[in-house]
């Protein structure tokens, strides 16, 4: 029994390493047929990893639910992959595969940690996928997306402010709204509006006056999040704004000014808020304050150390001992059971997504869409950095979810939307008349 | 055309920014790789880390071995297939090795995960797993020597107290005894008695490392060293002892009010003359003496990785003359553990540095191959060579003519100091002995306390002799 679990652990790691390897080798050579073959192989990897993982989980306590969930997941996966390829003609298949790979890992880890969470998460993912199928149609229909600007920010600030007034506190942050028993986190969705806002306002004109005004609006977002004690959220908004501003204007001075302003603000926040101090001291030395705030980071490091390179085997760790393991600290649970190699491969898959997002951004001509894609990409990868960095004690823990893997409806839904918007922008701008227009212009000029 | 140029600029900006972002990911991955590649045994062994229990499901706990290859603790399977921890020496190593049941202590706790790690051939390990068999855990080889441990254990007899013997240069602890003790084999059934502790025995307390006692006259070693540092002409010291000394209405007696007569510094030390040392104490610079004591780790952390209680020393300008005199002869408010006193005497023996006393030597796998060697770093030098030669003369004088006379005339040469620490009027004193023996360059240092027994020379010195005899 143990041997089977351990063996399966190795198989999962090897298949996932292979998958990751494909992520970075698929573009060697321009042969389209070869790429297609690799994408198909990746999807086989996704199927195999999920199958082996579910087999182990089933052997653990013979819960028939596991088999049902696996069957449903595979059906949904099969249908969704085909639907996406129909509705998103010419999409990035690598990003599509990565999205499903990460979703599958998240769900089988949740099945292992808490079945109820897994079922809820599966339902939300399914609903999200159905919604996201229509995103390209929506983008196409709403032709005024790039004509709006300040409206995005005003809407965003209002939403965040409403949350602040009616919010419930959960895991230390006051950024949850509960409507009819369903808790959601509006900041996860406002952050997409936020990217629209920056891209729309700054690509029209980037005079100094306009930058100042945009910065004030951006600062308002960040400030509300800080007051809500959503440190991770505040940081993601801040960095997204700063990097996007620098990319649009090409002015490094903005980046330097922003970073120094941000550092000053961080110092002030540290002096003002005890919860910030706790996070920083838990990062500096979780061992000495293990009973007063350091436990989470300590347990997370225990888990990663216990897992070593190849993990204890799925189901053989103790994820229950890490507080909020199903969301912010799921990376530690994965490291413990599937090992450091698997965990690093997850990071590489995230990076592969980001590289694709940047490539898409570079290929798009229309500035609004170009920078929307870039902004969303930065938001995504920076969240990964905060999440993994916090769990591994590389940086202080800021309490953010791991995109597509962590439990959390708002988080997974907003990430699905984020992926779909980028893909949607890509298929609309990559193959539409606009590209040809630009090419004509070039050849004409 | 301008539009087009803009786009190229945009793309260049995007590329630069994205690749810069990648740098932090390279650092993050490097950090994780370094973390995983590092030695995380300490993390695994942290008492808060519950993962240790998982390891025991797949590994049979390794043994604790003495330096001479005897089994101090081992895991055996009983007739019903339950794993039990066996201690062949029963009570003898109870405090040195710790116990397994009812909450792990000592080496059992400290090296828990090391013993649950199997350093055998991975192929054999995989085969074992296939067969559904547990892998044998690695064995912890200690520095303890069963012959010396037995000598110390028997020598202490039915007295309460503690004994530590170690090699003063390496810090390898050869024996560690604390009494009263308990039988780790039966600790489960005796637990209630041990906890209730009707006779105030504190049998679970390792007195060798966690017992704090007034150092008594063993402390005169430091008073002497401080006097030497403040008075370079210490060789000219002379004192006329009349059995007691009085100052500001306080009186200090020599042991049994004995008149030691005219004496130099060496004589006063050898006869453990309270009057002389109380007088010396009144002339000492308080701040300088405090500094000397903290360099010898009073009020400081000891360089050990196991549980101990820190020693305390205070000496300040608010002290009454009585307190000053008491402190100089090792009474007063000063408290020290036998372990700490062993470190102090070892510094004289090893040429002046603070040694790191340790019990854990290495981990060997089930076929005897070393899988990990524990290394220890010695501390700073606290005694100068010229100071050592005089201290050695004084300590030798104790053996030749003073309170340690029972140790003279052996093959080995003994340098030491007795102590008789009063802790409560009306009770017998604690008997102390700290010292080291030397023969052909081979050295062994001891620190011995016998509680409520009487004088150091009557009760602690004989224990030292048995240990030295067992060693050489």
Q: How far is B75 from chain A (nearest CA, A)?
A: 22
Confidence of residue A229 (pLDDT cuts 50, 70, 90): confident
Question: Helix H segments across B90-213?
Answer: 94-97, 106-110, 112-115, 122-130, 146-156, 187-196, 207-210
Kindly state whether residue A159 falls inside one of the protein's structural domains. yes
Q: Are residues A101 and A170 in the same domain?
A: no
CA distances from A184 to A123, A176, B27, B371, B397 (A): 15, 6, 33, 52, 82
Q: Does A287 touch chain B (CB under 8 A)?
A: yes
- For residue B409, the SS3 value is coil
The answer to which of A150-154, A245-249, B464-468 has the lowest mean pLDDT is A150-154
Q: Which residues contact A271 (CB under 8 A, 6 or more apart)?
A: none
pLDDT in tens, chain B (472 residues): 334 346 668 888 888 888 888 999 999 999 999 999 887 777 887 777 777 777 777 888 999 999 999 999 999 888 887 888 999 999 999 999 988 888 788 899 889 888 988 878 777 777 777 677 788 899 999 999 999 999 999 999 999 999 999 999 999 999 999 999 999 998 888 888 888 877 777 888 999 999 999 999 999 999 999 999 999 988 889 899 988 898 888 888 888 888 888 999 999 999 899 999 999 999 999 999 999 999 999 999 999 888 899 999 999 888 999 999 999 999 888 999 999 999 999 999 999 999 999 999 999 998 889 988 999 999 999 999 999 999 999 999 999 988 888 999 899 999 999 998 877 666 788 999 999 999 998 999 999 999 988 888 889 999 999 999 999 8
Backbone angles phi, psi at B353, to 5 degrees: -100, 160
SS (H, E, C) A83-142: HHHHHCCCCCHHHHHHHHHHHHHHHHHHHHHCHHHHHHHHHHHHHHHHHHHCHHHHHHHC
Q: Quote the crossing angle between the two packed helices A93-113 and A409-431, to the nearest 10°.
A: 170
Contacts A367 to B, Cβ<8 Å: 10
Shortest Cα distance, chain B CAs vs residue A82, angstroms: 31
Please indicate, yes or no, if residue A410 is contained in any of the structural domains: yes
Could you tell me if A346 and A319 are in contact, meaning their C-beta atoms sit under 8 angstroms apart?
Answer: no
Backbone angles phi, psi at A268, to 5 degrees: -65, -45
Distance from CA of B31 to the nearest CA of A (A): 7
Q: Are A172 and A182 in contact (CB under 8 A)?
A: no
Q: Any CB–CB contact under 8 A between B282 and chain A?
A: no
In a domain, A141, yes or no: no
Kindly state the tokens that stand for B411. 């093959």
Question: Is A106 inside a domain boundary?
Answer: yes
C-alpha angle B261-B266-B267 in degrees, rounded to nearest 5: 25
Cα–Cα dist A50/A64, whole Å? 16
From the number of C-beta atoms within 10 Å of its C-beta (0-12, 13-18, 19+), residue B467 rates as: buried
Confirm if B163 and B175 have CB atoms less than 8 A apart.
yes
Q: Are A197 and A261 in a shared domain?
A: yes
The answer as to whether A445 is a domain residue is: no
Asked whether the beta carbons of B165 and B443 are under 8 A apart, the reply is: no
Tell me how many residue pairs between chain A and chain B have CB atoms under 8 A apart.
Answer: 114
User: Which of A4, A306, A389, A422 is the best mutation test for B, with the most CBs of B within 10 A?
Assistant: A306
Tens digit of each residue's pLDDT (9 = 90 or more) over A379-427: 999 999 999 999 999 999 888 899 999 998 899 999 999 999 999 999 8
Q: Is B377 on the interface with A (CB under 8 A)?
A: no
- Residue B235: how many other CB atoms lie within 10 Å: 11
Contacts 24+ apart (CB under 8 A), A221-228: A221/A153, A221/A156, A221/A157, A221/A160, A221/A190, A221/A194, A224/A157, A224/A160, A224/A161, A224/A164, A225/A160, A225/A175, A225/A187, A226/A269, A227/A164, A228/A160, A228/A163, A228/A164, A228/A167, A228/A173, A228/A174, A228/A175, A228/A187
Whether residue A131 has pLDDT greater than 60: yes
Q: CA angle, B400 as apex, B397 and B401 as ends, to 5°?
A: 80
For residue A226, is pLDDT > 80?
yes
The structure tokens 């639910």 sit at A65
**Same domain (yes/no): A189, A103:** no
Query: What pLDDT score was predicted for residue B37?
Result: 87
Strands B139-142 and B360-364: antiparallel
- Residue B165 has φ and ψ, to the nearest 5°, of -130, 135
Among the three residues A272, A294, A315, which one is the final residue of a domain in this structure? A272
Contacts of B132 (CB under 8 A, 6+ apart): A1, A2, A3
Q: Which two tokens stand for residue B23?
A: 């740098």
When pLDDT is averaged across residues A329-353 and rounded to a whole number, the result is: 93
Q: Which among A37, A91, A102 is positioned nearest to A351, based on CA atoms?
A: A102
Contact A302 B14 (CB under 8 A): no
* A344 interfacial to chain B (CB closer than 8 Å): yes
Nearest to B51 among A302, A354, A445 (CB): A302
Cα angle for residues B126, B132, B135 (degrees, 5° grid):
55
Q: Is B34 part of the contact surface with chain A (CB cutoff 8 Å)?
A: no
Shortest CB distance from A385 goes to which of B25, B40, B126? Answer: B25
Q: Cis ω on the peptide bond leading into residue A191 (within 30° of 0)?
A: no
| Alpha carbon distance A108, B147 (integer Å) | 57
Q: Looking at the structure, do residues A160 and A252 belong to the same domain, yes or no?
A: yes
A445 in contact with B, Cβ within 8 Å: yes
Residue of B16, B21, B42, B55 to mutate when probing chain A, most A C-beta within 10 A: B21
Flag whether residue A365 sits within 8 Å of chain B, measured between CB atoms: yes
Q: Are residues A299 and A406 in the same domain?
A: yes
Q: A6 in contact with B at a CB cutoff of 8 Å?
A: yes
The token pair at B73 is 């603790």
pLDDT confidence of residue B397: 92
Residue A170 sits in the same domain as residue A267: yes
Give domain limits for chain B.
11-41, 210-364+377-471
Nearest chain A residue (CA) to B19: A355
CB contact under 8 A, B44 and A305: yes
Rounded Cα distance between B396 and B199, Å, is 40
CB B410 within 8 A of CB B379: no
CA pair distance B211, B338, nearest whole angstrom: 7
Q: Is the pLDDT of residue A170 over 70?
A: no
| Structural domain contains residue A249 | yes
In contact, B115 and B62? CB cutoff 8 Å: yes
Contacting residues of B for A361, CB less than 8 Å apart: 14
Instruction: Return the pLDDT at A440.
Output: 38
CB contact under 8 A, A394 and B10: no
Q: How much helix, strand and coil, in percent to the nearest 5, is found in chain B? A: 40, 20, 40
Q: Is the pLDDT of residue A435 over 60?
A: no
**Residues A319 and A266 reside in one and the same domain:** no
Closest-approach residue (CA) in chain B for A355: B18
Helix (H, G, I), strand (E, B) or coil at B280: helix
Cβ distance B321 to B247 under 8 Å?
yes
Whole-angstrom Cα distance, residue B290 to residue B295?
9
Residue B98: both structure tokens together = 């710790």
Same domain, A110 and A255: no
Do residues A162 and A66 both lie within one domain?
A: no
- Cβ-nearest to A362 among B15, B40, B50: B15
CB proximity A318 to B under 8 Å? yes
Return the CATH superfamily for domain B210-364+377-471. Answer: DD-peptidase/beta-lactamase superfamily (3.40.710.10)
Contacts with A379 (C-beta within 8 Å, 6 or more apart), sequence order: A191, A195, A236, A240, A418
Structure tokens at A43: 């999807």
Q: Please say whether the dihedral angle defined by the alpha carbons of residues A385, A285, A338 and B124, taken in this order, is positive or negative.
A: positive
Yes or no, beta carbons of B36 and A308 under 8 Å apart: yes
Q: Is A315 on the interface with B (CB under 8 A)?
A: no
- In the prediction, which pLDDT does A441 show? 37
Per-residue confidence band for A173, with pLDDT thresholds at 50, 70 and 90: low
Conformational region of residue B384, where left means phi above 0, alpha means psi within -120 to 50, and beta covers everything else = beta
Mean pLDDT to the nearest integer, A295-321 = 84
> Which spans in A315-444 are helix H?
330-363, 367-391, 409-431, 433-444
Residue A103 in any domain: the answer is: yes
For residue A430, the model assigns a pLDDT of 64
Could B36 and A362 be called an inter-chain contact, meaning their C-beta atoms sit closer than 8 Å?
A: no
- Give the number of domains in chain A: 2
From the list B7, B28, B48, the residue facing A385 with the nearest CB is B28
Record: contact B54-A317, CB cut-off 8 A:
yes
ipTM metric: 0.91
Query: Chain A contacts of B24, Cβ < 8 Å?
Result: 385
- The residue segments making up the domain with residue A323 are 2-133+277-440
Residue B62: both structure tokens together:
């390794």
- Which chain B residues are Cβ-neighbours of A394 within 8 angstroms? 27-28, 31-32
Q: Which residues pair with B5 in a beta bridge?
A: none
Selected residue of A202, A358, A384, A444 to mutate for chain B interface (largest B Cβ count, 10 A): A358
pLDDT at A434: 40
**Given A272, A287, A311, which residue is the final one in a domain?**
A272
**pTM assigned to the model:** 0.74
Same domain, A180 and A128: no
Q: Are strands B83-86 and B71-77 parallel, antiparallel or unpaired?
A: antiparallel
Considering A256, A272, A288, which residue would you say is the last residue of a domain? A272
Are residues A340 and B14, on separate chains, in Cβ contact within 8 Å? no
8 Å CB contact of B35 and A6: no
pLDDT of residue B40: 78
From A32-36, A104-108, B19-23, B49-53, the region with the lowest mean pLDDT: B49-53
């Amino acid at each position: 029994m143990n041997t089977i679990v351990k063996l399966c652990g190795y198989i999962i790691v090897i298949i996932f390493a292979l998958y990751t390897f494909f992520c970075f080798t698929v573009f060697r050579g321009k042969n389209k047929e070869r790429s297609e073959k690799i994408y198909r192989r990746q999807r086989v990897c996704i199927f195999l990893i999920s199958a082996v993982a579910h087999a182990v989980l089933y052997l653990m306590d013979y819960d028939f639910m596991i088999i049902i969930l696996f069957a449903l997941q595979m059906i949904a996966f099969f249908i969704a992959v085909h639907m996406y390829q129909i509705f998103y003609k010419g999409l990035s298949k690598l990003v599509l595969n990565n999205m499903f790979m990460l979703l599958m890992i998240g769900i089988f880890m949740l099945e292992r940690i808490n079945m109820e969470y897994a079922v809820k998460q599966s339902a939300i993912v399914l609903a999200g996928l159905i919604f996201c199928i229509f995103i390209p149609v929506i983008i196409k229909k709403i032709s005024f997306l790039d004509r709006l600007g300040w409206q995005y920010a005003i809407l965003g600030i209002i939403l965040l402010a409403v949350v602040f007034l009616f919010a419930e506190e959960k895991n230390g942050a006051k950024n949850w709204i509960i409507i009819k028993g369903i808790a959601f986190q509006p900041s996860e969705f406002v952050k997409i509006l936020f990217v629209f806002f920056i891209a729309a306002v700054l690509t029209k004109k980037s005079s100094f006056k306009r930058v100042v005004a945009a910065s004030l609006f951006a600062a308002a977002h960040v400030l509300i999040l800080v007051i809500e004690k959503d440190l991770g959220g505040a940081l993601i908004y801040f960095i997204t704004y700063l990097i996007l501003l620098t990319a649009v204007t090409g002015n490094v001075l903005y980046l330097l000014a922003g970073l120094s302003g941000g550092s000053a603000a961080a110092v002030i926040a540290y002096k003002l808020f005890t919860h910030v101090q706790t996070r920083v001291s838990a990062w500096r030395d979780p061992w000495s304050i293990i009973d007063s705030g350091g436990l989470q980071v300590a347990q997370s490091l225990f888990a990663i150390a216990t897992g070593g390179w190849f993990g204890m085997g799925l189901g053989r760790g103790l994820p229950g001992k890490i507080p909020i393991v199903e969301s912010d600290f799921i990376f530690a649970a994965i490291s413990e059971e599937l090992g450091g190699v698997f965990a690093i491969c997850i990071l590489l898959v995230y990076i592969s997504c980001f590289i694709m997002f940047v490539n898409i951004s570079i290929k798009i001509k229309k500035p609004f869409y170009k920078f929307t894609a870039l902004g969303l990409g930065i938001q995504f990868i920076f969240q990964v950095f905060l999440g993994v960095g916090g769990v591994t004690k590389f940086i202080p823990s800021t309490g953010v979810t791991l995109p597509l893997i962590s439990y959390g409806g708002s988080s997974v839904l907003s990430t699905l939307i984020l992926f779909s918007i980028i893909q949607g922008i890509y298929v609309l701008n990559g193959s539409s008349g606009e590209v040809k227009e630009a090419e004509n212009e070039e050849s004409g000029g | 055309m301008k539009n087009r140029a803009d786009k190229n600029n945009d793309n260049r900006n995007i590329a630069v920014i994205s690749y810069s972002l990648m740098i932090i990911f390279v650092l993050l991955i490097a950090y994780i790789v370094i973390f995983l590649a590092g030695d995380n045994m300490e993390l695994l062994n942290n008492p808060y880390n519950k993962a240790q229990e998982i390891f025991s499901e797949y590994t049979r706990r390794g043994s604790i071995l003495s330096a001479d290859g005897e089994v101090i603790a081992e895991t055996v399977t009983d007739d019903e297939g339950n794993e039990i921890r066996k201690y062949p020496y029963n009570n003898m190593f109870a405090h040195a090795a710790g116990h397994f049941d009812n909450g792990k202590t000592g080496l059992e706790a400290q090296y828990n995960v090391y013993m649950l790690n199997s350093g055998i051939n991975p192929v054999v390990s995989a085969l074992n797993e296939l067969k559904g068999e547990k892998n044998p855990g690695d064995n912890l080889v200690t520095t303890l020597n069963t012959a010396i441990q037995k000598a110390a254990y028997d020598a202490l007899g039915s007295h309460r107290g503690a004994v530590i013997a170690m090699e003063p240069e390496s810090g390898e602890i050869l024996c560690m005894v604390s009494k009263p003790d308990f039988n780790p084999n039966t600790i489960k059934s005796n637990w209630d008695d041990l906890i209730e502790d009707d006779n105030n025995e504190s049998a679970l307390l390792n007195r060798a490392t966690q017992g704090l006692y007034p150092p008594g006259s063993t402390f005169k070693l430091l008073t002497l060293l401080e006097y030497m540092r403040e008075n370079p002409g210490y060789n000219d010291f002379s004192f006329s002892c009349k059995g007691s000394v009085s100052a500001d209405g306080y009186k200090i007696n020599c042991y049994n009010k004995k008149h030691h007569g005219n004496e130099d510094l060496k004589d006063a030390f050898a006869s453990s003359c309270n009057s002389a040392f109380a007088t010396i104490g009144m002339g000492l610079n308080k701040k300088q003496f405090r500094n000397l004591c903290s360099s010898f780790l009073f009020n400081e952390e000891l360089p050990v990785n196991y549980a101990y209680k820190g020693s305390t020393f205070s000496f300040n300008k608010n002290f009454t003359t009585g307190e000053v005199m008491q402190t100089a002869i090792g009474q007063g408010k000063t408290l020290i553990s036998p372990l700490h006193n062993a470190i102090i005497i070892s510094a004289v023996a090893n040429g002046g540095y603070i040694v790191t006393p340790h019990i854990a030597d290495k981990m060997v796998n089930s076929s005897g191959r070393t899988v990990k060697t524990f290394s220890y770093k010695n501390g700073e030098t606290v005694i100068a060579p010229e100071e050592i030669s005089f201290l050695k003369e004084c300590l030798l004088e104790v053996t030749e003519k003073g309170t340690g006379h029972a140790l003279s005339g052996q093959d080995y040469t003994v340098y030491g100091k007795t102590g008789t620490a009063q802790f409560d009027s009306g009770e017998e004193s604690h008997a102390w002995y700290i010292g080291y023996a030397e023969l052909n360059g081979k050295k062994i240092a001891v620190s011995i306390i016998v509680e409520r027994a009487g004088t150091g020379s009557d009760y602690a010195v004989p224990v030292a002799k048995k240990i030295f005899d067992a060693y050489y």
